[in-house]
Amino acid sequence: MAVCAICGKKAGTGHQVSHSNIKTKRKWFPNLQRVRAVINGTCRRIYVCTRCLRSGKVQRAV
């Protein structure tokens, strides 16, 4: 679910580093929004990151 339907952006991984330098695994999730978009002439609900929404790569259904 955590993948943008337009650009394919997905969760990134890394370490959460505490003050004592203890490292635990964590993820950074993209800001995905469930929107109604026009795909091939039909309206579909897809998950799109906010960067694609802001840049106009998605034609939203009215």
In a domain, 7, yes or no: no
In a domain, 62, yes or no: no
**The model's pTM:** 0.80
- CA-CA distance, 52 to 37, in Å (whole number)? 12
Give pLDDT, residue 1.
Answer: 67
Q: How many domains does the chain have?
A: 1
In a domain, 45, yes or no: yes
How far are the Cα atoms of 19, 30, 44, 51 from residue 7, in angstroms, in the given order?
Answer: 35, 11, 17, 9
In a domain, 50, yes or no: yes
Give pLDDT, residue 5.
Answer: 95
What range defines the domain where residue 50 resides? 12-55
Give pLDDT, residue 62.
Answer: 83
Return per-residue pLDDT of the chain as tens, 62 residues: 689 999 999 999 999 999 999 999 999 999 999 999 999 999 999 999 999 999 999 999 98
In a domain, 6, yes or no: no
